[in-house]
Copies of this chain bind each other. A is one copy, B any other.
Amino acid sequence: MATIRDVAKRAGVAPITVSRVVNNSGYVSDKTRIRVEQAIEELGYIPNMLGPSLRFKQTNTLALILTDITNPFWTTVARGAEDAASESQYNLILCNTDESEEKQNQYTQMLLRRQTDGILLVPASSTPQAVELLQRQKVPTVILDRRVPGVEIDEVRSDSEVGGYLATRHLVEMEHRHVALLTGPENVSTAKDRADGFCRALNEFHLGCPPEFIQWGKFTQESGYEATKRLLQFDPRPTALVAGNNFIAIGAMTALNEAGYRVPEDMAIVAFDDLPVALTIEPFFTVVVQPAYEMGYQATQLLISRLAGEHEEGCTKIILSPELVIRRSTGA
């Protein structure tokens, strides 16, 4: 409500003097400072950021566009991003696309209209539209977790190919000969990369990689459920599953329970992404753990260093290593 001019009038000074008091910049005598502080107190003055933001083209705002805010994996990423942002006095806006490209493009537009300083993007798909728009508008952007082929841009992700490989190799080493993969959409790089790692491991052991054992779908529980029901029809049926994320793994479990299959006796499962401790009574799934918090934190640090104008040349790719944690769902 109250503006810097109201405060200035009340304290009998010029607006710029109030500004100096508020920002502790330049010279102000103690006598004046006290008068100004009193006026601020009396009027309940809170500076309006929009003025300076408009003038100096800096909003101190970053945005994280992610695909599913109900998935603990992403809220953990968001935590990391949030922490890194607030350490550098940036505020973070969270945008949830529900894996929809349309929503993603809407949010991108909105964030540009708001003059967001920088953007962390988890692309809903491999199409480069949104990224190209951001680059054209010269808004520093870091791509998180997923690749967008054909664009030169900063990236922070975990190595999904290696993750897929580790998961699959573990199952093969547990003597499984028919391993299937339940994963996300083919046009999402992490789904694709996990499939590549899956095939690499199978080929390494000369087991081949039958296409019907790779079930493309969505990163949802329903998708995992449906894909598992399909796989159970096959002959020979798979004896082990690699689930492309935590939700898919849950869906697979539900389908297996319904059909009377026990895990790990009748079917082993490795899942991507651990469930948070706060939500698990006792950890059951063997998982490929991706460093979610780290990913958010490092991506944000990278983005902020770009905004500070550091290391201009080229673009940076940070690839974090996933880790296999063996638990009961693979019979260990």
Contact = CB atoms under 8 A, between A and B. Distances in A.
A276 interface: yes
Contact of A70 (B76, B115, B250, B282): B76
Given A50-B114, A75-B75, A114-B49, A278 B247 contact: yes
Report copies per complex: 2
B48 A113 contact: yes
A259 interface: no
Contacts of A250: 278-281
Given A46-B109, A46-B113, A70 B276 contact: yes
Given A78-B69, A110-B91, A275-B279, A137 B47 contact: no
A320 interface: no
A51 interface: yes
A54 interface: yes
Contact of A278 (B114, B220, B257): B220
A96 interface: yes
Interface residues of A, number: 50
Given A48-B113, A51-B54, A136-B44, A254 B281 contact: yes
B69 A75 contact: yes
A308 interface: no
A133 B221 CA distance: 43
A310 to B, nearest CB: 22
Contacts of A93: 93-94
Contacts of A94: 93-94
Given A50-B50, A50-B53, A138-B1, A221 B257 contact: no
Interface string A260-289: 000000000000000111111110000000
A50 B70 CA distance: 31
Interface string A1-24: 100000000000000000000000
Contacts of A251: 278
A146 to B, nearest CB: 20
Given A46-B113, A69-B79, 13 more contacts: A44-B136, A46-B112, A48-B115, A50-B59, A51-B54, A54-B54, A70-B276, A91-B114, A93-B94, A250-B279, A253-B281, A254-B281, A257-B281
